[in-house]
Amino acid sequence: MNDQNPREHNERPVAMITGASSGIGAEFARRLAEKGYDLILVARREALLRELCNELENLYNISAEYIVAELTDPNDVNEIEEKLNESENLQILINNAGFGIRGAFHEVGLDIQTSMLKVHCLVPPRLTHIALNKMLKRNKGSIINVSSTAAFLVSPGNVIYCATKRFINSFTESLYLFLFDTDIKVQALCPGFTLTDFHTKLGIDPRTMNVNWMSSKDVVKNSLKCLEKGKVICIPGFKNKLMCFVMKIIPRRVLYRIIIKHNKRRNKSD
C-alpha cells in the first residue's frame, strides 16, 4: 500500500464491487478509483484481484483491498457481509457478479442453475440490505445492480438467466420507489453484448456473432452518467435501448411466434 494520511484515508468514500476481477466490474473499479474512492473488490480469481488492487493503488493513491469469495458459499458471503458492516464510509455498492450457462433447461444440472439463482437473486439483496441500512443513516449512497438486456427477453435457451435478470430489475425498481424521497440512488444496469470474458467462458467467440458489441469502458461510462441523472433503468447503447423498447411493446403472442420460429431455424442449422 502507498503511504497515506490516515485522516484522508478515513474520510474517503468506499465502494464495494462484486465480480471485480475483470470486465465490467474491473472497469467500475478503475473509474471509481480515479474519482478517489477506496475500494473493496470481491471475486474468485485472487491473482487478478491482487494485480488490479496494486495497479489502482499506485495510479490513484487510494486504498484497494480484496476478498476472494465464491458467492454460492455461505461462509464466503458471511465474510463479505462482515466487511460491509465494518465499512463506515460505504457510499457505493455494485452487485456485478454473475455468470451464464448454455443448454436446455431440462438438460443443464440443477446444481449450476441453483448456483445462478443464489448469485443473481440471493446475494445482491443480502448485500443491499446491509448497505442500505448504513446509507439510510447518512441519507447518502448509491447501489448498482448489474442486470442485462436479457431481463426484457424470454428465451428457450436461457430460461433461468432471463428470469434472474428480470428479478434484478424488479427488485431495483421497487427499491427506487421506496427510496424516492431520499438522496440514495439505485440503478439496474442492463448491458447488451459486452466484450468481456463472460462469453468466452461459455465457449462463444464474439467474432462469430453478428451483433453490436460494446466495451466495458463504454458500459460503465453510460452507467455512471445514468446514476448522476437518477435513472433507475440504464440500458447502454442506442440499439440495446431500441431492442428493449420493442420487447416491451410487442404483443406477447407475436413475440412468442418470432422466438419459436427463430429457435427452430437455429436448431436446423446446428
> How do residues 144-189 score in pLDDT, each as one tens digit?
999 999 999 998 888 999 999 999 999 999 999 999 999 999 999 9
Domains assigned to the chain: 6-269 (3.40.50.720)
Q: Which residues is 43 bridged to in the sheet?
A: 68
Q: What local confidence, expressed as pLDDT, does residue 208 receive?
A: 56
**35, 162, 247, 263 from 152: Cα distances, Å:** 32, 8, 6, 17
**57, 58, 190 from 37: Cα distances, Å:** 11, 14, 24
Is 92 in contact with 141 (CB distance < 8 Å)?
A: yes
Cα radius of gyration rounded to whole Å, the chain: 19
Is 67 in contact with 39 (CB distance < 8 Å)?
A: no
Q: What local confidence, expressed as pLDDT, does residue 212 receive?
A: 75
Which residue carries 419459436 as its cell? Answer: 260
Q: What local confidence, expressed as pLDDT, does residue 199 receive?
A: 55
Pick from 158, 159, 176, 154: nearest CA to 259 = 154
Q: What local confidence, expressed as pLDDT, does residue 1 receive?
A: 41
**All residues at 6 or more sequence positions from 42 whose CB lies less than 8 Å from its CB, including other chains:** 16, 17, 18, 19, 20, 66, 67, 69, 80, 97
Cβ burial 100-112 (10 Å sphere, 16+ → b, else e): ebeeeeeeeeeee
**157, 194, 270 from 264: Cα distances, Å:** 12, 26, 10
Is 71 in contact with 21 (CB distance < 8 Å)?
A: no
Burial of 137 (0-12, 13-18, 19+ CB in 10 A): exposed
Q: How many CB atoms lie within 10 A of CB 37?
A: 25
- Reduced to 3 states (helix: H, G, I; strand: E, B; else coil), residue 3 is coil
**All residues at 6 or more sequence positions from 141 whose CB lies less than 8 Å from its CB, including other chains:** 90, 91, 92, 93, 131, 132, 134, 135, 184, 185
The stretches in the chain having pLDDT less than 70 are 1-10, 197-211, 266-270
Q: What local confidence, expressed as pLDDT, does residue 32 receive?
A: 98
Is 52 in contact with 20 (CB distance < 8 Å)?
A: yes
Is 60 in contact with 36 (CB distance < 8 Å)?
A: yes
Is 27 in contact with 219 (CB distance < 8 Å)?
A: yes
Between CA 258 and CA 21 the distance in angstroms is 37
